[in-house]
Amino acid sequence: RNINKETKLKFVHTSVHGVGHKFVQLAFKAFDLSPPFAVPEQKDPDPEFPTVKYPNPEEGKGVLTLSFALAEKDGAKIVLANDPDADRLAVAEKQESGEWKVFSGNELGALLGWWIFTCWKNQNQDACAIKDVYMLSSTVSSKILRAIALKEGFHFEETLTGFKWMGNRAKQLMDQGKAVLFAFEEAIGYMCCPAVLDKDGVSAAVIAAEMASYLATKNLSLTQQLKAVYDEYGFHITKASYFICHDPKIIEQLFENLRNYEGKNTYPKFCGRFKVSGVRDLTTGYDSSQPDQKAILPTSKSSQMITFTFANGGVATMRTSGTEPKIKYYSELCAPPGNSDVEQLKKELDELVNALEKHFFQPEKNNL
């Protein structure tokens, strides 16, 4: 708290015409942090969202134009942005170059996971306590928490996409006397404390501010600490996108093609030059990595979802959206600690994604 009281770091907060303003101001006060500068044009609820094209901070820099301008004016280095119902959080940091870096949901998940575990470790000297500690993330999010858990000795579990799954699993674990420190999904949703078993952008904002204030005392930025996390636990490079398809028949055909790739009931063994080492299909319940070949996560015949694991450390999930005419994909390359050639890793992931699009989506053939 002394660090919070004395920090010289300045923050800008936007609630993007939503409900977050008052609650974030109160949260900062409760943490003994100076209140963040609020973007005046966006601090009060307005269902017309007049200053943005699309009121979701997940969209990146376009939503944060007014925040960056205020930060430049007031000398703030960090922008915290909630979506209108304040259950998501985006964070941006001014770089040495003067550019702003908007952290992806996976990057902020890595930072918050590192910070929350670090705080827990400082308060729990008993070596046995770690066996009851858990962190969760959704199956399409980065596996960085798994890497931290493996090295530090706590438990990591993944759930289906969405906080109803993570919140319910957290409740089950807590009922068994376990401590669930953190859960996140790549769509900028974070559960930073067990008081709310759901994503919450208000607690995430103030905990991110506390983390940044602590790092400032070590002369470290969030960007530098993110690199330190990846250096210690292994780089996790992610890339996600989607194709639009309005024809349910084509979508079904695309996924059925993957299930009968080289004859009936055979999944692909290669994606271009990339060797497939495992397949999990949560539509049919098949998982090649399990002894009985049955998936552990719940399955649903009404939605399509297949995850491919590759021999090079890559993972790619293809799934249909429950709300939009989209086939989404989420890809990640997980490197072991010590492999710090980030540019080479990015190049390899780009090649994997290009192969995924060309061979598995086949956009020309499927009119995507």
DSSP 294: B
DSSP 116: H
Is the separation of the CB atoms in 147 and 234 below 8 Å?
A: yes
Domains in the chain, CATH or no CATH each: 2-104+208-213 (3.40.120.10), 235-366 (3.30.310.50)
Collapsed DSSP state (helix, strand, coil) of residue 55: coil
CB neighbour burial string for 33-55, b if at least 16 within 10 angstroms, e if fewer? bbebbbbeebbeeeeebebbeeb
* Residue range 311-350, pLDDT digits in tens: 999 999 999 988 889 999 999 999 988 877 889 999 999 9
CA distance 84 to 279: 38
Mean pLDDT value across residues 73-96: 97
Mean pLDDT value across residues 285-300: 94
Q: pTM to 2 decimals?
A: 0.93
The pLDDT of residue 126 is above 90 = no
* Residue range 137-168, pLDDT digits in tens: 999 999 999 999 999 999 999 999 999 999 99
Q: What does the pLDDT read at residue 367?
A: 87
